[in-house]
Amino acid sequence: MGYSDAISELIDFRKINGASDTVLRNLSSTELYLKRARRTVAKMMRLDLDIETLDARGRWATMEELLEVVTFIYPVTKTL
């Protein structure tokens, strides 16, 4: 969020101090993307992603499921 605020401040500074039509069009499109990014971040911040909430919703992986994923990524080789 800090980066998007800094970019917004820069855009405001450029608009106040004058810019060509091309630059103003580019700044307008940048502002649009910043608004979308802020909206997305705000939605993500509202999500409940703590363990208790996920477990209550049945969306928490069991140890067996985690073991399947880990052994898929890091295959265990048996040595005798």
Residue 11 counted as domain residue: yes
Residue 79 counted as domain residue: no
Mean pLDDT of 44-66: 72
Q: What's the confidence (pLDDT) of residue 61?
A: 75
Residue 31 counted as domain residue: yes
> For residue 34, which of 13, 17, 11 has the smallest C-alpha distance?
11
Q: What percent of the chain has pLDDT over 90?
A: 0
Q: How many domains does the chain have?
A: 1
Query: pLDDT tens, 61-80?
Result: 777 887 888 887 777 665 54
Q: What's the confidence (pLDDT) of residue 11?
A: 86
Residue 69 counted as domain residue: yes
CB neighbours (10 Å) of residue 19? 15
Q: What's the confidence (pLDDT) of residue 50?
A: 67
Quote the CA–CA distance of 47 and 37 in Å, as a whole number: 16
| DSSP H helices in the chain | 2-16, 21-46, 51-56, 63-73
User: Domain residues for 11?
Assistant: 2-73
Residue 65 counted as domain residue: yes
